[in-house]
Amino acid sequence: MSSALASNHDTVFIGGEWVGPASGDRIDVISPLTEQPIAAVPSGSREDIDRAVTAATRALHAGPWPDMALEERIAILQRWRELILEHKEELAQLITDEMGAPITQSREIQVANPVNIIDAYVAIAREYPFRSVRRSTNGQALVMREPVGVVAAVVPWNMPASLLAQKVVPALLAGCTVVLKPAPESPLDAYLLVRLLQEAGLPPGVINLVVADREVSEYLVSHPGVAKVTFTGSSAAGRRIAEICGHDFRRFTLELGGKSAAVVLEDADLDVVMSSLRLGSFRNNGQICSLKTRLVVPASMQAEFLGRLDAMIETMPVGDPHDDLTQIGPLVNARQRARVEEYILKGSQEGARLVRGGGRPAGLDRGWFVEPTVFADVDPGATIAQEEIFGPVVAVIPYRDEEEAIAIANYSDYGLNGAVFTTDVERGVQIARRIHTGTVELNGNPSGFLAPMGGVKSSGVGREFGPEGIDPFVELKAIGIPGELADRL
């Protein structure tokens, strides 16, 4: 059943106003559960992008936002935070409507994350060195960190509200203005969040909202008025953005795909492992880039591990994502389900042992569902162990000793996330240091929003969260000053 909160939108948000789009083209928002349209929004054009960038540029150079005191900007974001909490159920239902996340996960993760992201960045911003004085033997400088300029924030469909906040909050705190481009699959939450930002008192033009297809999105990231692109999505799309931005020396941050490994040591507490993998491998119906989808376990423990994993998945009901009991819902669209099913077929063809799942759930004839799927005895070089599937599919890879486990974990083009499970935490930290990835979780402990997050290799460029998450939105400027002024600053 649908929440019935989804509704059509006929405008884009540009220059502080909800205005008509330049064309009559529309994007249908399709329910992953019913496979039917639940809403429609304008399909933005190049003219809409031009208007949005112009409005953002005007707000950057003529508006009050960049010159506001930091505490004034913080006050608006904190008001936004309170409005999100007031509308949390509406927001959760919209996210479940548009992309199929189980409603409990929408409430507890998808909606909670933006609030926690605001809190973390506000705390960081108050300590961030937006200006400082540096002295040396040959001069003194006032070092300024000024807004980088107009930011294109390109948000994917899988964690739409969370990733919107992840990009918009540090940009706004730094004094930048933003053109926000949500995914066509999940634009409805962005309309609500931007409306709440407007209600919170954000000045006109500081944020602008245009939903667009791939061709118009590429026009946005190549726009000469855009100084910075922040993007989360596939590695293929990230490479294209890097090419475009590199040509014009435009700054960019890319959080891309992952094929993260969970290394389970022989002394690991399997209760802890299973508790962590419930969301660590299957959250959001398997559609999270940081999920642990390569489960690297001692060969001697594989049978026990598989039994425990099977029992855990048995307690994860598959079904209507609006049902509070559901833990695994449908995939976002038919194309994504077809992609996942192709990988499942490839896994069997390449000799992996199918232990569980592999098909469509019985009794769910409508909706883009795939059974939670487990492969065992997976070769580390197999397609399902190397390529990002983005569905509820995991590969269990046996190893003989610690060195082989680390080698398997590092045998990937990706390096976004990972995990180590052991009761010897000192040993766990040493192994985590040897895994070539941006983040490693020890015994399921997350690093939190005060720590930097991002990938190496094909998993991206740059970092988000922590003070490192504000750095990409500022430009450094050094002003040589006389000593007497340095003494006063």
Distance CA 130, CA 142 (A): 10
Torsion of CA 332, 335, 340, 346, to 10 degrees: 180
Could you tell me the end-to-end alpha-carbon distance of the chain, in angstroms, rounded to an integer? 61
Catalytic site includes residue 243: no
Distance CA 392, CA 288 (A): 10
Partners of 132 in beta bridges? 143
Catalytic site includes residue 146: no
Distance CA 270, CA 238 (A): 36
Distance CA 409, CA 214 (A): 33
Distance CA 199, CA 189 (A): 15
From residue 479, alpha-carbon distances to 16, 144, 468 in Å are: 34, 8, 23
| Contact between 263 and 465 (Cβ < 8 Å) | no
Other beta carbons within 10 angstroms of residue 374's beta carbon come to 24
Q: How far is CA 479 from the centre of its chain?
A: 37
**Which member of 185, 289, 371, 464 is catalytic?**
289
| Contact between 126 and 173 (Cβ < 8 Å) | no
What amino acid occupies position 374?
V
Rg (CA), the chain: 23
Pinpoint the alpha helices (H) of 128-201. 160-173, 188-199
Nearest alpha-carbon partner for 479 in 131, 67, 68: 131
Distance CA 254, CA 113 (A): 19
Give the contacts of 233 (CB within 8 A, at least 6 positions apart): 154, 156, 256
Distance CA 243, CA 425 (A): 41
**Which member of 176, 185, 245, 255 is catalytic?**
255
| Tokens matching residue 472 | 């990409």
Pairing of strands 393-399, 292-298: parallel
Task: Find where tokens 């998808």 sit.
Answer: 110
Residue ranges of E strands in 346-425: 353-356, 373-376, 393-399, 418-421
Helix (H) or strand (E) holding 478: strand 474-481
230 phi and psi angles, rounded to 5 deg:
-120, 125
Distance CA 463, CA 144 (A): 21
Residue positions annotated with a catalytic role: 255, 289
